[in-house]
Structure formats: C-alpha cells, structure tokens
C-alpha cells in the first residue's frame, strides 16, 4: 500500500472517483499520524488538502502527532 501523501498528482486525480472508504482501504496515512480515519472527508484537512506539505516537521505540533511511532 502507498502512503496517501506520497501519491503523484496523477494518482490523486485517478483516485477522485473513489469513496473515502475505498481511499482508506487503498492508501495509508503517515505512520506518525494518530488521527482516526485521517483519509476521510471529516479527517485531517492537511492530509487531504495539502498532502504535498505533509511531513513530520509539518505535523509535529498537531495534537494527533504520534510520538511513539
């Protein structure tokens, strides 16, 4: 399985027809992310909307950052 935040723009465009449930089954959220169902319409806005910025450094101040990964 690939990490959602590491997909290419083309891969994301190809995934647009999928439901969020399918996306959660096909792609992983970052290992440091403890947000439940982060890849969801009501999930992590950064992961869904700004996935190209996602990194440990970007996410480190999030309350859902998993420090024990």
Q: Is 31's pLDDT higher than 60?
A: yes
Query: Please, where are the H alpha helices in 1-69?
Result: 9-15, 20-26, 45-49, 56-59
The structure tokens listed for 56 are 């440990």
Spatial distance between the Cα atoms of 33 and 63, rounded to a whole number of angstroms: 10
Evaluate if pTM is beyond 0.85: no
Give pLDDT, residue 52: 84
Q: What is the pLDDT of residues 12-25, one digit of tens each?
A: 999 999 999 999 99
Q: Looking at residues 31-40, what average pLDDT do you find? A: 93
Dihedral angle computed from the Cα positions of residues 11, 15, 17 and 19, in that order, rounded to the nearest 10 degrees: -170
CA 35, 63, 43, 46 dihedral sign is negative
């Amino acid at each position: 399985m690939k990490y959602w935040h590491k997909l290419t723009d083309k891969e994301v465009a190809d995934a647009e027809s999928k439901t969020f449930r399918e996306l959660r089954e096909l792609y992983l959220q970052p290992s440091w992310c403890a947000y439940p169902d982060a890849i969801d319409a009501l999930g992590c806005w950064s992961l869904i909307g700004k996935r190209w910025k996602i990194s440990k450094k970007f996410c480190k101040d999030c309350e859902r950052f998993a420090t024990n990964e």
